[in-house]
Structure 1
Amino acid sequence: MKNPTVVSVSQLNRYVKSLLESDHVLSGLMVRGEISNFTRHYKSGHLYFTLKDDSAAVKAVMFRSYAARVPFSPENGMSVIVSGSVSLYERDGSYQFYVTDMQPDGIGALHLAYEQLKAKLAAEGLFDEARKRPLPPYPERIGIVTSEGAAALQDMLNILSRRYPAATVVLCPAQVQGAGAARTLIDGIRALNAAKACDLIIIGRGGGSIEDLWAFNDEALARAIAASGIPVISAVGHETDFTIADFAADLRAPTPSAAAELAVPNMADLQYYLADLGARCHGAVVRRIEGTELRLRQLRAGLTTPEGVLRACGLRLDALEREIRAGVLQRLDGARNRLQYLGALVEERSPMKILSRGYSLTSADGRTVLSAEQVKPGDLLTTRVADGEILSKVTGTNRRTT
């Protein structure tokens, strides 16, 4: 009979470890289980936990480099599917599962991360209605944080110029999807606040998948929106798309076009309101004069005192009448001057007035040309000036570098 080989504990554990790691079934494994005894090491960033089901359990570890890629926060009691391999921890002689990827069981990782962040910020009061600021009724400058070449930007510019040409648009270009997009959006909001460049900020983009819109679910962006000293309208995607930025903003618009509608009043409505206000003021003044005159006549008719008293009262009444008429006329003049000023302001800021100063507006295929990069040689341009339109063809472009 062959004598058995005597090995050390270290040799035994090392050999068992090699057996486990050489088994192909155990090296590319996916395991479903419930997390318990969860610990995130505060120094190393590694995750330590136990995976269990109704009848068994196994220790698991996920090193920091892999843990950093998990978009949600693992918790005790959460059902997950993990990928990785089985090996032996030689020092203790215990085998454990080394996790390289983790997904929630039955729900998408991005959706879970979204719900976790939404619940966290809501608990902090970041979405409370009480902290939301009212929008300015007549903004003079509107800051827009979005992609410079986006169709959504062109839609907003067209609506703002049509509804309220008196406002100036301040564009702060930003990346709206992909790695680093959230940082450029944050920088845009902070830059507009630091320069006090506008009265209102619109941040947003057109529609897309949850991955395309994910930059607007960034925690730091939500906090930057909440901390903005300038009111913010969030306009991300379509009506059915909701992002964390929508909840943090002072107002959510279902689309970028709707944001432009909500940001400014309609100039035509303002002109109608001013005309109606002037008519009502005039009517009120006329009624006041007629009522006063009637009262004076009634007072004169009711006097039965001696002649001297009558003359004194008559003089007093005449003085009162002159004083009332002067006051009423003064109010009429003030109202008339105010209406003339508002009418002149509307006329001064109208698009045709701007064109009459020598400015022009160039478009290609119905879209306003804002940059030399929008056109190429051969494109047909329409340039609108005060007394008509000029048709031209692009022969070349020169882009200013400074």
Structure 2
Amino acid sequence: MTVEELLDKNMITPLLSPLTPPLSVSALNRLAREMLEQTLPLTWVAGEISNLTRATSGHWYFSLKDASAQVRCVMFRGRNQFIDWRPENGMQVEVRATPTLYEARGEFQLQVDTLRRAGLGALFEAFEQLKGKLEREGLFESARKRSLPRFPQCIGIVTSLQAAALRDVLTTLKRRMPGLPIVLYPTPVQGADAAPQIVAALQSAYRRAECDVVILCRGGGSIEDLWPFNEEMVARTIVSSPIPIVCGIGHETDFTIADFAADLRAPTPTAAAELVSPNRTDLIHKLVLHQTRLLRQARHQLDTLSQHLDYLARRLIHPGRRLEARQAALGNLNQRLHQAMATAQERRNWHHRALARRLQQARPNFSTWQAILATQAAGLIRAMHQHLTHTRQNTARLVSHLSHLNPEAVLQRGYSIVLNEHGVIVHDSDQIRIEESLNIRLASGSARVRVTDKST
């Protein structure tokens, strides 16, 4: 049963009655934990870290204390992995935590959700707000950033003349590439007026266009010390750079807005110098390797050409001997040509004789074919006369039949054809009307009459 259920049922007071069965320790601790978590909200607590332990599981255990009290705290791995700085004993911090009870031991503790350095909450909030704003504008996109030149001709450094980071960068550059030209653009890197001067130094580097890449660096420090690199004007000046910018600010765990805006972030100033400069020792080593390979290849090529020259020398023959060999080969070819021509001529003669014999055997007998053709011509003429006679007889018979059917022949026998005004033959008295004019066609001529009477 939860604390809320006990409160709703007014069961807290009866728990104190002597008639109430005693609670187990685990039940008591569970009720106490639930009451704490439901009564005290998630809140910020300030204090000093002591007895910090980082367990192998990744969880952090520490005490948070002030001048007169302390409280145990736990921060689980799923939350502390988002902390980008390393807390240590003695640090003044602010934790956002839930008051609770560790039931197994009955210990009151704070379950920490997030952790920040004391007094820096406003700065962290400003940092996150500016970072989010610039990120939404696309200033941190990787597609915008440029790659560094592989072999820069000149390197620019924007930092303070008194910065320890400058010595580290110069030492690293001298060790890696001693002859590489360097241009220094001095500027304060700490203080309230540092940001505008950093902007001015960067713009001077852009305007003079002396360098292929620029290092913006300074050593480590607190968030207040590094704050000029979190200013919006510095970030926008870096983004507008026509030259690749490498940021090496603070230590590996220090992140600034300038790091996100730059084309490349280095964890330290020394690392920034290593990123922008080629390593002279490595280049010499690669050069020696390439030289060795080139000499080996050249030697191999010379050996191959020498061997090929010896082979060609063995094939080289005196011109007189070459001419003799050519003459002998020409004589042999001449003899073979004559033999081939004689053989081909004999083969053609034999073929011609065979064709002549076949032609003689296949020669036709013209007298026989002429007699056959004469006989067939006479038969064809007789057949034509017979066909014409038969055709004339059929034609005469058809003419006779047609003459009987000719209307003119009927008119010759005294008949006539009656037509109405429209030229239609009249077959029935119903086709005519009284007083209608009719045409009568006779065997010779025609007449026009008027109907005065009709009968059916």
TM-score, length of structure 1 as denominator length: 0.47
TM-score, length of structure 2 as denominator length: 0.42
Q: Per chain length, whose mean CA-contact separation is higher, i.e. which structure has more relative contact order (CA < 8 Å, sep 6+)?
A: 1
Q: Which of the two has greater helix per residue?
A: 2
Largest Rg, 1 or 2: 2
